[in-house]
Chains A and B, each alone.
Chain A
Amino acid sequence: MKRMIALAALVLGAVVLFVMGAALGGGPVDVTAAGARYTVAVHVARPAVGRVPVEVRVTAGDADAVAVSAVMPDMGHSTPEVTAAEREPGLFVAEGELFTMTGVWDLALRLSGPAGEETLVTKVQITEED
């Protein structure tokens, strides 16, 4: 009986930790942004300060090139634009020092292609220190 109670307490503790961990963030960031010419799905596997890859999948429109830059409007921080490499058709990966601190950043995706140039802006929350 005692063993059962201990087991139940352990399971409960694990559930609480999991829920708290999920609530406090730290997981990957997935956002979509739709413009007039292009639509993208952005995946940041590790929303961390420092050098991180940002995946941009173009889900609508025909983009030849994608450049990624970030601005933290609260602080007035702006980081250099990173040109994304096309890993496979429609999948671009930009890897660079986009985020210099934790907090909410405006991620600007400058897409260009036969349809013209368009910049889509989406918000990402950076939760992990380097």
Chain B
Amino acid sequence: MIRALLLAAALLLALSAPAAAHTVSAGADLRLAQTFGGAEVTLVIKGTPRVPGPLRIGVIAYEGAGLAVNLEVRSLTGGGTVTGTARAAADPRYAELRVTETGPHELTVRAGDEVSVVPFRVLVDRGSPGQFLIYGGLFVAAVLLVGGLLTGAMSRRRPAMLLAAGAAAGVTVAAMVVVFEPLVPPGPPDGAAPAAPAAATPAGRPYAQARFSTEPARPVAGQDFTLRVDLVDGATGRPVDDLVSHHEALAHLVVSSEDGAWFRHAHPLRTGPGRLEVRLRAGRPGRHFAHAELEREDSGGQLLSGEFTVAGDPVEASGPAPTPVTAVAGRPSTVEVAADGPVVPWLGMSGHLIVRSEDGTFLGHVHEMGTPGPRLRFTFSFPEAGRYLAWAQHATTGRIVTRPLVVDVTEPV
């Protein structure tokens, strides 16, 4: 008996594995960070409890409050389109669009001349068949019991017995379902993608390859350029178009000049299958590194890197001098930074520390671990001795604060 229960529990766990991200259902919103016009905003699509039903979309501004966006939601099965507008704000008003079907949809967000196309799925929970049996069983029992009592009162024994037996059966069915329903795996919600049994799914999809390019091919300091990442599946050569929300973004793109004086942590826009783009303004000439952190469906996170060169003369005044920090290789080292203003959670965390080796071959992304008070604390084990560049980031009212650090890591003695 215990073995059967354990088996049922294991089956339940296996089948209720988290569905692909990028789904919106009642109570499960989709949040995606996006960089529009150099400003950090987070797009929120709230789930709907039913179709046809409302789909609420808002844009939270961490920077660039007031940004106006046009929204267009298109069903990828029916082709129906609805539009709306929204304005980015720290506490935004949600635009209410109407969806008429479940399944795959595409949200197109236009801000100025920038466009982002976000695929997502509308899921609506189906009523459980167990509930039907519970209420049905109880209803039948109640009707038969009353019938049985009346028949009994009129002293017709045989029909009374039959009705009472029916009532007992109804109660038994309802009680059995109440006990066993939690052990039965729930069916997929309406609109879910077909899924293979968990046991048949290998752990992780093939690796993605990235090609980094810029438009124009040689950006000039002081001028806008587009950094493009084309993602290709290493096993099939097809565009990688199954990115899931990884720390609230399709991709975290870290772009830094070789000397570390210019740094951006941006969230590129999906402009087509396998294509991510972000508009940036270069600050200094020379070699730049780009690192993209992303996650494919049913897979773990991965890091892809590339580089490009900026022409022209330096235009951006150097920011604050990096704070020197020391650490010992291979040991957990803690870096503390004072917060600049009240800390607002951003990308699901209160603080982020991006660590890069001087030569750009190593990149780490560390999260703040809930330090009380106006301080951010990060713990990281630097893999080997040498000099690292680091940037501690947090959001506060209306802006993202970035503090550069330089970490000298020594060999353990």
Interface residues of A (CB under 8 A from B): 31-35, 39, 60, 71, 73-78, 102-104, 108, 121, 123-125
Contacts and interface: CB of A to CB of B under 8 A. Distances in A.
A78 B236 contact: yes
Nearest to B206: A76
Interface in B42-98: 74-79
Interface string B179-206: 0000000000000011110001110011
A125 B76 contact: no
A60 B79 contact: yes
B75 A34 contact: yes
B237 interface: yes
A108 B238 CA distance: 11
Given A76-B206, A124-B194, A125-B194, A71 B238 contact: yes
Contact of A73 (B75, B79, B205): B205
Contacts of A124: 194
A32 B202 contact: no
A76 B194 contact: no
Contacts of B74: 34
Contacts of B125: none
Q: Is the contact region of chain B dominated by helix, strand, or loop, or is it mixed?
A: loop
10 contacts: A34-B76, A73-B236, A74-B298, A75-B235, A76-B233, A76-B236, A78-B235, A102-B200, A104-B195, A124-B194
Contacts, number: 60
Q: Interface majority SS on A: helix, strand, loop or mixed?
A: strand
B202 to A, nearest CB: 6
A123 B77 contact: no
Contacts of B307: none
Interface of B: 74-79, 193-196, 200-202, 205-206, 233-238, 241-242, 273, 297-298
Contacts of A104: 193-196
Which of A31, A71, A75, A123 has the most chain B CB atoms closer than 10 A to its own CB? Answer: A75
Contact of A31 (B77, B242, B297): B77
Nearest to B298: A74
Given A39-B79, A104-B194, A71 B236 contact: yes
Contacts of B77: 31-34
